[in-house]
Structure 1
Amino acid sequence: MGRTNEPPRLPEGGFAAWNRDRLGVARRGADECGDVWQLEPGVYVAATAEPCEAVLRRAHDFPKAPSPLFPPSKRSGGAPTPEERAHAHAARMRGLRAQAVAARIGEIAPGTARFVDRWPTDQDVEVLPPVRHALAEIGVRYLYSEDAPTLLPHAFQLFLAREVLARPSRWEWPRWIPTPARRFRTRQQVAFTDALRPIVRRRRSSGRLGDDTLGQMLRPSPRYGLLPEEAVLDTLPGITVATFETPSRAAGWILLHLARYPQAASRVAAEAALLPADPAATTSTHLDNLHYTQALVREVLRLHPPSWLLTRRTARETQLAGYTIDAGSTVLVCPYTAHRDAREHPDPDRFQPERWLDDEGPPAGPGVFLSFGTGPHGCEGTALAMAMLTLLTAQTARRYRLSEPPGPEPSHQVATYEGLATVGLRLRATSRSRGQSWAPSES
């Protein structure tokens, strides 16, 4: 006999329905079953704001599965210990925290301006490849400064390895089986670390460590001392890809909204007109003054979180939203439906950037914004991603009006397997005339 306090099961749900229409089933589960519901025996979905927040913050009860995309390399010197990897994470954060990003806005803004300069006007363009290239240039340069040109080609190969591994497969092979995708991943990871190793040794031997993220990792910590070389090398492939992979998905949704909501785009353009003519002169003060632009970015990420589904496993029997969850169960955290929780976001399906403006009183309850996760495993590059996306949005709207291609064919396809993405998105950019005004209200 089943427990009486099990989460409800969605009628006509299950994996078959889920694989046909993930977003639709996720919405139906939240609407019909509430905070937590059961997809299959032992597989639960945290669907609304509060339980999503609880799962992500309670890492001792709901740990992240230990399956890194780029696992430690097997070298003669030995893989970094868990303690060394934790220290490496702390060292990376010295270069990625909000204050560090704010100090380097003048290095980020030129990359977003170059993306805008390269966009061919008055023709339909598939936008995600150039967006990804631009954000990769920015992200890799932020991490490695003058050594970025050496590492950028390897970063693209790491991204390709990630894409190959993420493709749906009929079989879930044990981790120890060297599938072609895993062998390709290993080759690219080794090539990246082989290119990075002489850079690390050159910086350490010369004493010129650099002020970038790599430089922060090479500095001895007062508490932990000097990081071993392998700990530096093995913990950088993942964050290198992360600086542009997830932001590229987000940028696709943002550009699509600029095309679909021209009045909002014009308001962004008016705000962006106050940015310096020389992008390198952009400071954190300029960024902070882009109030509406930042609100628009947050609103797009609320409606279309790039990482719309996060997986956790229960370490022990525990309680969630009043239900008992057995040890070893899978819990799917769904920011996509949490962000549509009407208790936190009135009229949740409406695109309304104004809900995030200070004078409107932005929501402050748990789980109201989970696009970058939260808790111990929240995205460490949040500040960098928000800076890149805000400046990309502002620079694009200042220069262009965007539109979707005319005709019956959709401008994109929605992908949900690995993340929420606008696959094949095509848009047209038309030069914006000076002095164009914006209207303050839009349905």
Structure 2
Amino acid sequence: MNEPPRLPGGSFAAWNRDRLAVARRGADECGDVWQLEPGVYVAATAGACEAVLRRAQDFPKAPSPLFPPMRGASGAPTPEERVHAHAARMRGLRAQAVAARVGEIAPGAARFADRWPTDRDVEVLPLVRHALAEIGVDYLFSEDAPALLPFAAQLFLAREVLVRPSRWEWPRWIPTPARRFRTRQQAAFTDALRPVVRRRRSSGRLGDDVLGQMLQPSSRYGTLPEEAVLDTLPGITVATFEAPTRAAGWILLHLARYPGAADRVAAEAASLPADPAGTTGTHLDNLRYTQALVREVLRLHPPSWLLTRRAPRRTELADYAIDAGSTVLVCPYTAHRDAREHPEPDLFRPERWLDDPGSPGEPGAFLSFGTGPHGCEGAALAMAMLTLLTAQTARCHRMSEPPGPEPGYRVTTFEGLATSGLRLRATARDQGRSRVR
């Protein structure tokens, strides 16, 4: 069995200069799997990417949590307790649970659209991040969200500092300034959340948010220990708005570049209730074109465009040998441009996700939220947030890019695919629309 082909002229130096271009060239010239450097392989097409993500035993996820477990008074949670905590979180994050709480998500999306400063160029990502953080933290913690939101913002800042590109890759045990800052912010968030957990348990009013679901006793494993409840909440808190912010930047840019599509979203959004709190899962389901547009943008610009897996033992992938100890980079960005899965893959065509006459019945692989055992647990929440944000924004505004020959943003790829520095202008569609408070 042969090893994957080496990309001519491919190297880490070329990769670091333009990751997207090298990834596209590797997929075009080498096919399903190619070799970047000895021991570093790239799964480039849909079939190869899905195989890696589904074969978690052969290609496990690297154990490098952004917010590692902190040792509390009763010790760090056991692996079994972490599994149970994940199952408890999923009770509040699965699609049915999200659909039941759409009326709590929609007001934040409407506030974002209503508060957008009109008729001037505005940097997009900070506004989006704040709005999605409010929605995500509220979904996790309900009435306790306002007190926890500032700590969530600091967690995000700690994450940004920690993943910032550096010339040196320090061993994990070295307490660099960025890691010490991360630890302080993680401890501050946990210290703010701990009394919330204790108050809810002592009062018996556990709540129906995600935290409340984690506090509910289970017939399978009983009541989760306090440390198991607190353990992964920093990570999931940041996750509710970090990748969705990158996605929203691309979505808003497409609303500006494709006014016909934006008009169609606006027409569909007119069916939403005047009071956003009255939005239901049925309203969300009826935003069919808006959801298709969101999925198409995520196909073209997956926020997590590159995923890392390890091969602990020698195995095979797409009829190639993968050596033990190798790194496998899974590339949804090129998988989504596999013409065998998506006809005319570089074109922006939201209709490909609809089952209307003339649309393909099988739209192809979609890996923006991953797949398999480590697929994104917040996928349903992210889709609801992004769909409602898109609908409400198009309902209120026409978006446009600043004039000039050069793009008003730069594409960054180090941690995710983002429109860094993106600036857009919003012009009100209906000057007489009542303000949402």
Both structures adopt the same fold (TM-score exceeding 0.5)? yes
User: Map of 1:142-291 to 2, 5 A cutoff?
Assistant: 142-291=139-288
Aligned equivalent of 2:375: 378
The match for 1:315 among 312, 315, 322 is: 312
Matched-pair contact (CA < 8 Å) for 2:124–2:249: yes
SS of residue paired to 1:427? strand
The amino acid of 2:327's aligned partner reads T
The match for 1:92 among 89, 94, 97 is: 89
The Cα of 1:433 is off from its aligned counterpart by 4.8
Gaps of 5+ in 1: 435-443
In structure 1, distance between residues paired with 2:178 and 2:362: 43
The Cα of 1:74 is off from its aligned counterpart by 2.4
Aligned equivalent of 1:102: 99
1:42 matched to 2:44? The reply is no
SS of residue paired to 2:122? strand
Matched-pair contact (CA < 8 Å) for 1:345–1:363: no
Aligned equivalent of 2:434: none
The amino acid of 1:317's aligned partner reads R
The amino acid of 1:6's aligned partner reads E
Aligned equivalent of 2:435: none
1:132 matched to 2:129? The reply is yes
Aligned equivalent of 1:438: none
In structure 1, distance between residues paired with 2:226 and 2:361: 44
SS of residue paired to 1:430? strand
Matched-pair contact (CA < 8 Å) for 1:45–1:332: yes
1:431 matched to 2:428? The reply is yes
The Cα of 1:361 is off from its aligned counterpart by 3.4
User: Map of 1:300-379 to 2, 5 A cutoff?
Assistant: 300-359=297-356, 360-363=359-362, 368-379=365-376
Q: Percent identity?
A: 85
1:28 matched to 2:25? The reply is yes
The Cα of 1:377 is off from its aligned counterpart by 0.7
In the superposition, the TM-score normalised over structure 2's length comes to: 0.97
SS of residue paired to 2:183? helix
Aligned equivalent of 1:440: none
Aligned equivalent of 2:138: 141
The match for 2:74 among 73, 77, 87 is: 77
In structure 2, distance between residues paired with 1:156 and 1:169: 23
- Deviations along 1:400-425, one digit per CA (max 9) or x if unpaired, are 11000012342111000000000010
Matched-pair contact (CA < 8 Å) for 2:352–2:363: no
SS of residue paired to 1:311? strand
User: Map of 1:112-127 to 2, 5 A cutoff?
Assistant: 112-127=109-124
Matched-pair contact (CA < 8 Å) for 2:353–2:363: no
- Deviations along 1:13-42, one digit per CA (max 9) or x if unpaired, are 110100000000000000000000000000
Structure 1 residues 313, 376: closer, same or farther in 2, change over 3 A?
A: same
1:391 matched to 2:395? The reply is no
Matched-pair contact (CA < 8 Å) for 1:113–1:392: yes
The amino acid of 1:44's aligned partner reads Y
In structure 2, distance between residues paired with 1:6 and 1:19: 23
SS of residue paired to 1:255? helix
The amino acid of 1:361's aligned partner reads P
Number of corresponding residues: 429
